[in-house]
Structure 1
């Protein structure tokens, strides 16, 4: 596990398409790592929407209002304009932590590209649809076979090359399948087959993500997560299922964290 005198493991959540659960997933990963005893910082690069920043601000307000002992990463939001400011905040947040979790805008952004080049783990959440798949690959309209990678796959390829030139490190690219629906089985199968084809072609790992659940939207105003089970009463079956999804996702991400039980 990273120590105080070493470079932190940088996790970047990036997708140039909105509505994929990117910020919600990023917050849950940051809180999960902090709950396992890691020192965690969070950097929100989306100065317009700043969902991660507002989520953690809401959490800080809940701590102040209620006196509850909730873990919270040190966090900041970039102004979206100044490269010197980006570097200053990045370096400040990265100092003395084990993990730096970065949330990027759902659009093309130069700071998101810089963050991608610095990533150790790059997470691209997507919904199970060919609309989302089109960001990373194109398919034949009749056979649904992958015809070529899309611009975003090429962008990540360039980020990997740039990173290799800097320090010889590799970027672990993870495509996170969020909001998988339990309907339209044929479409799900086609998307799954296309993802498996493209994963072999451009080199990413497929990981199960979080489902589409109302609970995530309900927890946002208080800055709570599915890990804070004691803060919102007895859990129903959907809550239990959501926590299991989170367990599986954290395990599949294969992050260099202490081997401690999650949600003990």
Structure 2
């Protein structure tokens, strides 16, 4: 039987969640927006910084949400949102500190490519979320497998980068009482993977997770509803504002709740600290 973890608290600033993947098309921005809104629904103050100044999907989604509130004259939980398109880490850090003054969580959405600013915020993440589609094309981002056995042959450059960052962060945690970095690989769109291939990916992810220390969480399936909600900025959590939902949409809502629970994020406690709760 699982036992509840003893509650602990930390108070060294807002929790930084970084959604990062050097490959596009993995549902990164969609996942980031829905996590932001889910946290806001739980009473957290959420700020977001979109580092993809070209597409700015997360920022546009939240802008659409604000416009829908104005148009319908309704109030919805949401998040502060800004876009940063510069290349100066000091400037980005200053913006982050400014946003942090009134936030329990800061969520960064990064471009689907190798980007210096994305690397910078990933190094400072409390929770690093890497969404992957269930395919070996996406798996190649974090590790390379043998063509015959599908066993992991070696880490990718990206995985080695995060591994080194986590080691440095662990030393800082001991020295400066900082949080350790929690790396979570989120498996999106699993329903479209052939069963045998999915077993191979299960095996490879399990093997690699033991080597580099990431956790694996269930993500969001491929659903048209996510694209349809973008213009309004609404999410599956906005009950009463979506009209009649079919069974598949209710299943999708539960997927989102499972994802947020799987991230095991600290929620604000009444004393202003962050309470960590969960199960062993």
TM-score bracket for the superposition, by shorter chain length: over 0.9
Q: Extract structure 1 runs of 4+ deviating beyond 3 A.
A: 164-169
CA distance in 2 between partners of 1:41 and 1:139 (Å): 38
TM-score (norm 1): 0.93
Cα separation, partners in 2 of 1:117 and 1:221, compared to 1, 3 Å? same
Trace 1:1-264 onto structure 2 (pairs within 5 A).
Answer: 6-168=12-174, 169-257=179-267
TM-score (norm 2): 0.88
Structure 1: segments with no counterpart, 5+ residues: 260-264
SS at match of 1:108: coil
Q: Which moved more, 1:226-235 or 1:170-179?
A: 226-235
CA distance in 2 between partners of 1:77 and 1:207 (Å): 28
Q: Is the 8 A contact 2:62 2:233 kept in 1?
A: yes
State the aligned residue count.
Answer: 258
Residue 80 of structure 1, CA deviation: 3.1
Cα separation, partners in 2 of 1:182 and 1:45, compared to 1, 3 Å? closer
Residue 231 of structure 1, CA deviation: 1.1
Cα separation, partners in 2 of 1:190 and 1:82, compared to 1, 3 Å? same
CA distance in 1 between partners of 2:149 and 2:200 (Å): 9
Cα separation, partners in 2 of 1:172 and 1:241, compared to 1, 3 Å? same
SS at match of 2:185: strand
Q: Tell me what 2:273 maps to.
A: none
SS at match of 2:267: coil
Residue 184 of structure 1, CA deviation: 1.1
Question: What is the RMSD of the two structures over their aligned residues, measured on CA atoms?
Answer: 1.7
Q: Is the 8 A contact 1:76 1:89 kept in 2?
A: no
Residue 183 of structure 1, CA deviation: 4.8
